[in-house]
Amino acid sequence: MAATYDPNNIFARILRGEIPCRKVFENEHALAFNDINPQTPTHILVIPKGAYVDMDDFTAKASDAEVAGLFKAVGEVARQAGVVENGYRTLSNCGRDAHQEVPHLHIHIFAGRDLGGMIGRAK
């Protein structure tokens, strides 16, 4: 069963302006900001402005305009960050097995160094 959206999760609070973020981009349907604990020299999170728990929730319920707005934001952020030439990785953790920590959909953009192989072997 799909998880219920928690309106007090940290990204909901960022969207409401209750806590600060280092914003890098915004459009009608998406907000992008620097990750507070960067794993790579460039580590940006792109989130929908709507209340969606994860990729499953978003792709089941969001409008076409919201889906377009989020994914166009990902590309725009990467271009603005200057990471297209050397390359970048997008990643979105969905649910327990993916170790999703914040229950508001977010797409990570990693760049700025060689990112290695695609995924580590599970324990």
User: How many alpha carbons fall within 13 Å on the CB side of residue 34?
Assistant: 11
CB of 10 to ligand AMP, least distance (A): 5
101 lies in the binding site for ligand AMP (CB under 6 A): yes
- Given the residues 29, 104, 106, 108, the one annotated as active site: 106
Is residue 93 a contact point for ligand AMP (CB under 6 A)? yes
> Which of left, alpha, beta for 116 (phi over 0: left; psi -120 to 50: alpha)?
left
Per CB under 6 A, which region of 72-80, 81-89, 99-107, 111-119 contacts ligand AMP?
Answer: 99-107
In this structure, the number of other CB atoms found within 10 A of the CB of residue 97 comes to 8
Determine the Cα–Cα distance for residues 38 and 121; give it in Å rounded to an integer. 22
DSSP state of 82: T
Closest to ligand AMP by CB, 65 or 98: 98
102 near ligand AMP, judged by CB under 6 A: yes
Applying CB under 6 A, does 10 fall inside the site for ligand AMP? Answer: yes
Nearest alpha carbon to residue 22 among 81, 82, 85: 81
43 is catalytic: no
Q: Does 37 bind ligand AMP (CB under 6 A)?
A: yes
At which residue do the structure tokens 């978003």 appear?
58
Which residues in this chain contact ligand AMP in the complex, by CB under 6 A? Answer: 10, 21, 35-37, 45, 93, 99-102
Catalytic residues: 106
